[in-house]
Amino acid sequence: MASVSPVVTWSVLIGTSVLCYAIKLVGYLVPPRWFAPERFQRINSLVPVVLLSALVVAQGVAVKTHLVIDHRLAGVAAALAALVAKAPFPVVVLSAALTSALVYRWR
Amino acid sequence: MPRVSRRTVRDALSVALTVGAYGVAFGAAGVAAGFSVLQTCLFSLVTFTGASQFAAVGVVASGGAGVSAIVAASLLSTRNALYSLQMAPVLEVSGWRRLVAAHVTIDESTNVALAQSSHGPDAVRHGFWLTGLGVFLFWNVFTLLGALGARSLGNPAAWGLDAAVPAAFLGLLWGRLTDARLRVVALVAAVFSLLATPILPSGTPIIATVVVAIVAGWRA
């Protein structure tokens, strides 16, 4: 297991929980016209796409500030193949885990 | 209260079960990232918005600062504010019900609810509550199972858990790439974060890619 200071893990847990709940509550409390500008809506709809893309990179080939090609990339490639083959979600994740574990053990 | 249609129940439960089962992956990812079983379960109970939970533990796992983890997770959840704006006039909730409604305002509850639009406002409300509460139940049960499982497995890399997380992100991303423009935006964001990784502090390239969304979304 990775060892991370409890101060970090608890503050991330609490900070994320408070902010994510506040964001969900916003729409129930403010007048809808505040969010009307089309530009805001357009950018907001792209935010999950860019963040998820960056997260694939960060988790697939980055270790801190280095780019590292290892077993994880093999796993991501297997996931990509599964997605192209229109496999259901659990199959995508399982094939990534299986491929990565095999490469990790037999490299 | 008007009768709940069988179709709405079926839609809600099938989504709640399939999405909820995926909580196993989050439970495993949380423990693999260095969070305790209790903390991992609290994420699912209190944060309760899947992609953001993965982002928070993912940034910590990749060595990023706590602030980067919180900011990335929060940015990823801003779409929930738009969902709550859409749901508020339909649900017409106040008091404690409003607080509960906000907590279960996520991708799945909103999308199942809006998919019932052609069957009237009652079906929309039923879809929202059944899906929201259903996902909450299954997501939390499966998070616990995943966390306990990962703890008993030991080294996450030996079981491929460290590749399961980016695979999960890729799967979440894949479903959103519905047209050519979105695919280009995703690709540019990936290249941007690849180039930014050696330059920016750990964890911040993820947040910095929001620049790509701003540039791409500035003009229609």
Residue in the structure block whose two tokens are 């409890």: A6
**Is the CB of B193 less than 8 angstroms away from the CB of A53?**
yes
User: Could you give the 3-state DSSP secondary structure of residue A6?
Assistant: helix
Burial class (CB in 10 A: 0-12, 13-18, 19+), B218: exposed
Per-residue confidence (pLDDT) for residue A50, from 0 to 100: 92
The predicted-structure confidence for B74-90, as pLDDT tens digits, reads as follows 998 988 988 898 899 88
From CA B125, how far away is CA B216, in angstroms rounded? 34
Residue A90 neighbours by CB under 8 Å, 6+ apart? B21, B22
CB contacts of B54 in chain A (<8 Å) are 55
Per-residue confidence (pLDDT) for residue B25, from 0 to 100: 86
Query: How sure is the predictor about A105, in pLDDT bands with cuts at 50, 70 and 90?
Result: very high
Query: How sure is the predictor about B117, in pLDDT bands with cuts at 50, 70 and 90?
Result: confident
Query: What is the share, in percent, of chain B residues with pLDDT greater than 70?
Result: 100
Per-residue confidence (pLDDT) for residue B145, from 0 to 100: 96
The pair phi, psi for residue B203, each rounded to 5°, is 95, -30
Query: Shortest CB distance from A51 goes to which of B75, B157, B177?
Result: B75
From CA A47, how far away is CA B76, in angstroms rounded? 7
Own/partner long-range contacts of A78-82 (Cβ < 8 Å, ≥24 apart): A78/B167, A79/B163, A79/B166, A79/B167, A79/B170, A79/B171, A80/B170
**Is the CB of A79 less than 8 angstroms away from the CB of B47?**
no
pLDDT above 80 (res B43): yes
Query: How sure is the predictor about B1, in pLDDT bands with cuts at 50, 70 and 90?
Result: low
CA of A12 vs chain B CAs: smallest distance (Å): 6
**Is the CB of B85 less than 8 angstroms away from the CB of A26?**
yes
Per-residue confidence (pLDDT) for residue A2, from 0 to 100: 60
Mean pLDDT of B148-165: 85
C-alpha distance across the termini of chain A, in Å = 21
Per-residue confidence (pLDDT) for residue B197, from 0 to 100: 93
Mean pLDDT of B9-28: 87
Q: A67 - beta bridge partners?
A: A62
Nearest to A10 by CA among B141, B51, B46, B50: B46
The predicted-structure confidence for A21-64, as pLDDT tens digits, reads as follows 999 999 899 887 777 778 888 888 898 899 889 989 988 998 87
Per-residue confidence (pLDDT) for residue B114, from 0 to 100: 83
Per-residue confidence (pLDDT) for residue B193, from 0 to 100: 94
Segment (H or E) for A77: helix A71-84
Asked whether B18 and B134 are in contact (CB, 8 A), the reply is no
Where is pLDDT greater, at A64 or B180? Answer: B180
Mean pLDDT of B91-110: 94
pLDDT above 60 (res A1): no
Per-residue confidence (pLDDT) for residue A40, from 0 to 100: 81
Per-residue confidence (pLDDT) for residue A12, from 0 to 100: 97
Instruction: Quote the tokens at residue A53.
Output: 């893309």
Mean pLDDT of B59-86: 90
From CA B124, how far away is CA B208, in angstroms rounded? 37
CA of B12 vs chain A CAs: smallest distance (Å): 18
For CA atoms B149, B155, B156, B158, the dihedral sign is negative
CB contacts of A46 in chain B (<8 Å) are 182, 185, 212-213, 216-217
Give A 17-56 residues with CB within 8 A of chain B. Answer: 17, 19-21, 23-28, 30, 32, 35, 38-39, 41-56
**Exposure string for B97-107, b = 16+ CB within 10 A, e = fewer:** ebeebbbbbbb
Give chain B's mean pLDDT.
91
Name the closest residue on chain B to residue A60, using Cα atoms: B166
Helices (H), chain B: 6-21, 23-32, 37-42, 50-61, 66-76, 79-91, 96-103, 107-115, 121-153, 161-174, 180-196, 204-208, 210-217
pLDDT above 80 (res B190): yes
Mean pLDDT of B51-70: 91
Mean pLDDT lowest for which of A51-55, B44-48, B212-216? A51-55
Residue in the structure block whose two tokens are 């059944």: B130
Mean pLDDT of A69-93: 93
Per-residue confidence (pLDDT) for residue B95, from 0 to 100: 93
Name the closest residue on chain B to residue A100, using Cα atoms: B160
pLDDT above 90 (res B97): yes
Q: How many residues does chain B have?
A: 220
